[in-house]
Amino acid sequence: MAENQHADTANYDNQIPVDEQLSDILLVFDKEEKQLKAVKGIDEKGELKMAPADSKSLDDFMKVDKQGNMLSNFFSNFMRQAQNPSRFSFFKIPIEKSVNTIEKLQNHLAKLTEKGKEYLKKYEVSPEQYIKQEQKAATLKQEGETAVAQTPPEAPAQAQVQEAPAQAQAQEAPAQAQAQEAPAQAQSQNTPAQEELKYNPDAIDWETLQNLGVSRESLEKRNLLEPLLKGYKTNELVPISFNLGSTVTRFDARLSLREVDGKVAVAIHGMRKEPQLDYPFFGHEFSEEDKKNLLTTGNMGRTVELTNSKTQEKIPSIISIDRLTNEIIALRSEHIKVPDEIKGVKLSEEQKQTLKEGKPLFVEGMTSKKGEPFNATVQFNADKRYVEFLFEDKAPKLANQEKLTEAPTVIRGVTLTEEQHKELSKGNPIYLEGLQSKAGKTYSGYFTFDKDKGKVEMSFNNPQKDITDKVSSTKQKAETSKAKEEKRPQKQSEKTAQKETAKKSKGRKV
C-alpha cells in the first residue's frame, strides 16, 4: 500500500489505471451558494474544480484512498492558494454509498438539526487536520507512528561523518565510524553490503507501486532498492504518478518502507515548496531562531521535547529538514550515535555531548584525505542520521562558541615544552615539526595563539616573518618614494634654469 502521497505540481497527461484503493470521493459545500458539489481537483489559479453531486457525473469526481493520504497534498495546495478557504466545508464519502449519502447530506445541510450535525460529523473532513497529518506522516516513528525518523535497529553504533556541500543533497547512509569526504556536489551513497536487509522485497505490494509509476526493475537499475530494503529513504528523487479520477498527478518524491499492521507499506515523501514551520510539530512551536537555523543549515540546533500524539509521551528529539523534499524530520535523542573521532581528531566527552544535543561544534586540526589540516563546523543531521560538515555558507555564527582563555599546553597531540608554551602565550608563533596526518603523512607548521579569538591558528608560513617582510617592504617603498620626491624639485629647478638661459639666448643679437 502506498501512503503519504503528496505533490506541489501536477501534470494532466499520461493517465494510468485507476487504483482500486481509491474508493472514496470528496464533496464540498459552498456556504455562500448553499450548494453541495463534488470535487474534481484544483486549477492553476488555486480555484476548486467542481461537478454536480449526482450519479451522472460520478466518473468526473476526484477519487481518494480510504486513509485520506492523498488529501494531505490536496488540502496543502488548497490552503496555500485559496483566497477564502473558510467559505467551504468538505466531506469524504465511500463511492459505493455515494448516491444515498449525497442525498442525506443535502437534506441535512438544507435544514440543519442536532441529528443532522451528528450525521455531518461522520463524513466531514478538516483541511487543517490533513495538513497536520502530512507533517506527521513525514517524520517520527513512535510506537505506531510513521517511520521516517527512526534509526534502523541494525545500524552500527557509531556515526558516519560526511562532508556536506553548500547545495547538499540529502543522503541516506548508515551510522558508521568511517569518515568520508564529499566533493562540491554530494555523491549518492549506498548502505554497506554487509548490512542485513530489514524488509523482504517479496513483501512489497509491487502491483500498487507499478500503478504509481514505480517498478522493482527501475529501483534496481538506479541502485535504490537495496538501501530501501535496509530501512533508508532513497537518496534520490523518484518520479511518481497517480490517478485522481479525471486527472493524473505527477511529481518527484523520496521513498521509504515501514511496517503497518504486519505489512510492508511504502511511504512517499513528496517535495514541498518550503518547510511548514508555521504549524506546531508534535507539540513544538518553532521559534524565530529555530526557523532561521532550519532554513540556513537544515538543522534546528537544539534538543526539544516532542509529544507522542497517541501516548502523550514527551520524547527528547532533534529536528532537521530533508534538503531534497523540505520535509521536517525528527530523530529521538536516544538514537543519536556520535563517533569517537572525526578526521583524526579525538572528541572529548563534552564535544560528543554537544553533538548529541544537536548543537553545532567547531572542530580544529582535522586532516583531509590529501593530508592537509583544516578546521570546520560539524553537526548531527536528523534526516541523514550522521554527523555532517557545515561549510562557510551554511555554518552558523557561533556566538556561544567556547573560547580558549589561555594558550593550550598540547597542540594536535604534541605536548609543548615550557619555552614553547611561554612563546605561544605571548602571541608569538611557534614551529612544530613531525606532526602526523590521518593519512600517515608528516607535516610541520607555525602555530599562533590569538587571545581575542580565543583559538590557536595554524600556518605553513611563519606569520611573524610575513609581517616583518611586509613592514620592510612598506618601509622600502616609503623610502624610495621619498627619494623620488626629493629629486623631483632639483630636476625641476634645472629645467627652469635651462629654459631661462634659452630665452636670453634668443633675445641676443648675433
Phi/psi at 388 (nearest 5 deg)?
A: -120, 160
Domain segments of the chain: what residues?
23-138, 201-270, 276-397, 403-469
What type of residue sits at position 250?
A: R
C-alpha cell at 361: 561544534
DSSP state letters, 139-168? S---SSS--SSSPPTTS-SS--EEE--TTP
Phi/psi at 57 (nearest 5 deg)?
A: -100, 15
Do 105 and 40 meet the contact criterion of CB atoms below 8 Å apart?
no
What type of residue sits at position 510?
A: V
Do 250 and 7 meet the contact criterion of CB atoms below 8 Å apart?
yes
Is the dihedral angle over the CA atoms 249, 254, 255, 259 positive or is it negative?
negative
> What is the CB neighbour count within 10 angstroms for residue 478?
10
C-alpha cell at 295: 532554513
- Taking the C-alpha atoms of residue 77 and residue 88, their distance in angstroms, rounded to an integer, is 15
| pLDDT recorded at residue 47 | 76
| pLDDT recorded at residue 486 | 63
Q: Are strands 161-163 and 179-180 parallel, antiparallel or unpaired?
A: parallel
How many Å from the N-terminal Cα to the C-terminal Cα in the chain? Answer: 120
> What is the CB neighbour count within 10 angstroms for residue 312?
8
> What is the CB neighbour count within 10 angstroms for residue 220?
12
Whose cell is 496543502? That residue is 76
Per-residue tens of pLDDT for the chain, all 510 residues? 333 333 332 222 222 223 333 467 888 888 888 888 888 877 766 677 888 877 666 666 776 655 445 666 677 667 666 666 778 888 888 876 777 888 889 888 888 888 888 899 888 888 777 666 655 555 443 433 333 333 333 333 333 333 333 323 333 333 332 333 333 233 333 334 445 788 998 999 898 888 888 899 999 998 899 989 988 888 888 888 876 666 667 788 899 998 888 888 888 888 888 888 988 999 999 999 999 999 989 999 999 999 988 888 999 999 999 988 889 999 999 989 999 999 999 999 999 999 999 999 999 999 988 888 989 999 999 998 899 998 755 555 443 444 566 788 778 767 788 888 889 888 899 998 877 665 667 788 888 988 877 788 888 888 776 555 554 555 565 566 666 666 665 555 565 666 665 555 444 443
> Is the backbone of residue 278 left (phi > 0), alpha (psi -120 to 50) or beta?
alpha
**CA separation, residue 155 to residues 142, 180, 209, 262, 389 (Å):** 18, 17, 27, 21, 21
DSSP state letters, 420-470? HHHHHHTT--EEEEEEE-TTS-EEEEEEEEETTTTEEEEESS-HHHHHHHH
Those residues whose C-beta lies under 8 Å from the C-beta of residue 314, and which sit 6 or more positions away, are: 305, 306, 307, 308
C-alpha cell at 163: 562532508
Instruction: Name the H helices within 253-356.
Output: 288-296, 349-356
What is the H or E stretch that residue 387 is in?
Answer: strand 386-390
DSSP state letters, 81-102? H-S-GGGEEEEEEEGGGHHHHH
Angle at 330 between CA 327 and CA 333, to 5 degrees: 160
Do 39 and 58 meet the contact criterion of CB atoms below 8 Å apart?
no
